[in-house]
Structure 1
Amino acid sequence: MDFSDARFTRGTVTFNGASFSGSTVTFRDATFSGGEVDFGGATISDSRLLFSYATISDSTVLFNRATISEGSVVSFADATVSGGSAYFGRATISGSTVSFSGATISGGRLFFNSTTIFSDTVSFSSATISGGTLDFEDATGPAPTGLLTAIGSPVPRTVILSQAWAPIL
């Protein structure tokens, strides 16, 4: 499915509970303004969900309780999150990649609270994070690559890191 350059304003687009296997769903250069895209509870296996260069402003992208596995890629590479939110709460990420590489997050909110990360699969390499909220409370697994380097100036309003990472940060 190709939603490149689409404009999502108000309302909800739902993939809640959907199964993606060997699929590619592209939101490249899409604009999310005042709406919601819901992948909550989805099973994403050997698939690619690409939000590259997307703009998320006053909108929400949900991956709560999603399972992302078997070589899947969920990419927000070079995306802009400004006043919008991405929720990965209680998601399971195993053998896959969730990338915010090169993304600009200013005033947005990223929630990975209680997320289970099974390997070095979440990346913020070359991202810029200023303002907003980062919440990794009770996340398990390794700390995301590049996270501390991505936190810029001004520092996000709220940063909650997993206590499990304390010895390595």
Structure 2
Amino acid sequence: MKDNLQSHIVLIGFMGTGKSTVSQLLAERLGCEAVDVDAVIIDRAGMPIPEIFATKGEAAFREAETEALSEVLGRERLQVIATGGGAVLAQQNRELMLKFGFVVNLYASADLIVSRVSQDTSRPLLQGDVRGRVYKLLEDRKHAYDFAHCTIDTEQLTPSEVADAIATEWRLQR
């Protein structure tokens, strides 16, 4: 990390852990751009994520996710990058994140995640029994975020406090 002062800050974590919100706050603090990989995918595809899943399938979405992540991580200027919750599932994505960024896992309990995402109809993987789907996906992905440089438990912190904690950790790595 020490030799790459322009490495990006990459936020990973399960859906509903605050990646998009925190990325905006952190980018403001650091005077750089916040990039949401899901937004890049939507712009490129010209359709919302649920529609991508419905018309092209999850595999096509994951391929688009890797392409968008690769493009964003290839930029030279410092960015705070919010990934989708499943971006960590592909080994190639994990390798790219570690090569080009300081990776921070945002964590929250299953109950808090359920309360945050239960009314969000834009999450195709949560259609139907939200609580059951969250618990199943968390179990399936329980070690998927372990590669991060650090993990921050967002349970008792405001988004602003999370952004401050990440900025502190990032500066320590520089």
Calculate the TM-score normalised by the size of structure 2.
Answer: 0.27
Q: Which structure: larger Rg?
A: 2
Q: Name which structure has the greater RCO, CA cutoff 8 Å, separation 6+.
A: 2
Q: Compare the two structures and name the one with the higher helix fraction.
A: 2
Calculate the TM-score normalised by the size of structure 1.
Answer: 0.28
Q: Compare the two structures and name the one with the higher strand fraction.
A: 1
